[in-house]
Amino acid sequence: MNGIRRRFRKGIVRILNSDGQPSNHYFGKICHKHPELIGKRLEGNRACYGCFLEAKKKYREINKTEIARKFKQWNEKNREKRAVSQKIWQQKNNEYIKRKSKIYYEKNKAKKAEYLRIWRLSNKDKVLATATTHKIIRKRLICGQKLARTFAREISEIYRFCPTGFEVDHIIPLRGKDVNGLHVPWNLQYLPTLENRRKHNRCMESV
């Protein structure tokens, strides 16, 4: 306790986090190795932040394989937990991810195109098969659009009379993994919102 009181005596400036809460850093004596950090130090052991980062890097370099093994082990154990936190992070950092992936895409455009060109040359049968499937899907989509137009009034009525807390759901998904459902009255049903979210793009049978 004494140490803490001494550490944050008058005149010491604690660094605030982005949300305004005090972080575990403060400005203290300027380190002669890291003058650019103007004395940013850790609350715990009062070490210079720059020196701390260097030590951390060194430790990681030495214990690389052990850390990787432990990380993998933890990941396998906490797969679901990690998926949840990852999703939350992605939602929070949507803009950042978009910006980063755009930069990455621009940087590796030529490389990717070259790789794809070579892959296509050596996988002609696969290319042909995909083209055929796309053709079939396009044909089906056009048929579906025609049908949807025919039943437009019924469909709009189904949407209009959807009870609160429910969503209109396609029994066979429009873009399922193996099947493409139709946007027609007999492929529509009311589903509680939560359940609909859970179902997402899968068929009811496989849930």
Give the Cα separation of 179 and 187 in Å (integer): 13
Of 52 and 166, nearer to Zn ion (C-beta) is 52
| Interface stretch with Zn ion, choices 45-53, 83-91, 111-119, 138-146 (CB under 5 A) | 45-53
Query: Does residue 41 touch Zn ion according to CB under 5 A?
Result: no
Q: Which residues, 115 to 144, sit near Zn ion by CB under 5 A? A: none
Nearer to Zn ion, 28 or 173 (CB): 28
Question: Using the rule CB under 5 A, is 40 a contact of Zn ion?
Answer: no
Q: Which residues pair with 25 in a beta bridge?
A: 42
Under rule CB under 5 A, residue 34 binds Zn ion: yes
* CA-to-CA dists, residue 7 to 45, 53, 93, angstroms: 10, 21, 35
Q: Which of 25, 31, 170, 188 binds Zn ion (CB under 5 A)?
A: 31
Question: What are the angstrom distances between the C-alpha of 87 and each of 80, 84, 90, 198, 206?
Answer: 11, 5, 5, 15, 23
Q: Smallest distance from the beta carbon of 39 to Zn ion, in angstroms?
A: 9
Which residue number, 34 or 183, has a Cβ lying nearer to Zn ion? 34
Q: Say whether residue 199 binds Zn ion (CB under 5 A).
A: no
Contact 41, 12 (CB under 8 A): no
d(CA 175, CA 196): 15
Judged by CB under 5 A, which stretch of 27-35, 134-142, 167-175, 185-193 contacts Zn ion?
27-35
CB atoms within 10 A of CB 138: 10
Say whether residue 33 binds Zn ion (CB under 5 A).
yes
Query: Is the CB of residue 31 less than 8 Å from the CB of residue 48?
Result: yes
Q: Is 58 in the site for Zn ion (CB under 5 A)?
A: no
Secondary structure of residue 177 in the 3-state scheme: coil
- Asked if residue 51 binds Zn ion (CB under 5 A), the reply is yes
Strand, coil or helix: what is 20? Answer: coil
Q: Which residues bind Zn ion (CB under 5 A)?
A: 31, 33-34, 48, 50-51
